[in-house]
Amino acid sequence: MKIAIIGFGNMGKTIRKIAEERNHTIVAIIDPIDKEATSLNLTPESLQGVEVAIDFSSPSTVLKNIEVALEAKVNLVVGTTGWYDQVEEVSKKVAEAGTGFLWSANFSIGVNLYLKMIERAAELINDYEEYDIWGHEIHHHHKVDSPSGTAKTIEKILLNKISRKTAVVEEKLDRQIKSNEIHFSSTRGGPVNFSHVIAFDSAADTITLNHTARDRSGYALGAVKAAEWLYLKKGFFGMDDFIG
């Protein structure tokens, strides 16, 4: 495939490495500051010849990037977070444009399998009120949002599957937590940290589900494989469509 990378930070560079190892061609790199960029700004012209674009830019630019990709009729994989309140509107625009679009808060195959494990565990725990639930995540010091999109996805799963929990608290607690609340905390630090843990905690024991990434390669590989899957497809897709 002929691929464009939108946002050429650490993730973008890892995506290029893996895409080239899988015999794809990077025909465009769009980034406002990187010296290797073929274009500082995303325009329909900068996407000429591109078959699939992969966006790992920033929450402040992602919606504009989506608009440009739709205008250029280029299929788009989006790993950037911070726009999920616009999902329904973007879905309509993708249908109008007749292009292919795949988004996820996290493209790691391992993380997406982890999410399915959490979903099943939450369904089981729902029947056992003696278990409380809490979560924690750790990300590197370059991470620009807190909690992460993955944490938000986990929170949604827990609230959907555990009827006694109806709210998530993400900030510091200076009070006793309420019985209907889940405390989901975040830590930011270090150059390469990616970890999530969910605990089902009773007086008798604790069950934990933990995912820890060793580096960015799993996320980048998932994004490239998602681009391969999206190639020539039309429609609005999520990670469940890709993972199956």
Q: What is the per-residue pLDDT across 57-85, written as a single tens digit (0 to 9) for each?
A: 999 999 999 999 999 999 999 999 889 99
**Contact in structure between 162 and 126 (CB atoms under 8 Å):** yes
Tokens of 14: 């890892």
Give per-residue pLDDT as tens, 165-205. 999 999 999 999 999 999 999 999 998 788 999 999 999 99
Among the CATH numbers 3.20.20.150, 3.30.360.10, 3.40.980.10, 3.40.630.30, which is that of 109-212?
3.30.360.10
139 counts as catalytic: yes
Q: How far apart are the first and last CA of the chain?
A: 23
Distance CA 147, CA 96 (A): 32
Give the model's pLDDT for residue 225.
96
Give per-residue pLDDT as tens, 104-157. 988 999 999 999 999 999 999 999 999 999 999 999 898 888 898 889 999 999
141 counts as catalytic: no
Among the CATH numbers 3.40.50.720, 3.40.50.1100, 2.70.150.10, 3.20.20.210, which is that of 2-107+217-243?
3.40.50.720
pLDDT-based confidence at residue 216 (cuts at 50, 70, 90): confident
Tokens of 106: 């996290």
Decide if pLDDT at 244 tops 80.
no
User: Which entry of 139, 165, 196, 211 is annotated as an active-site residue?
Assistant: 139
Distance CA 7, CA 217 (A): 16
User: Which entry of 143, 161, 183, 234 is annotated as an active-site residue?
Assistant: 143
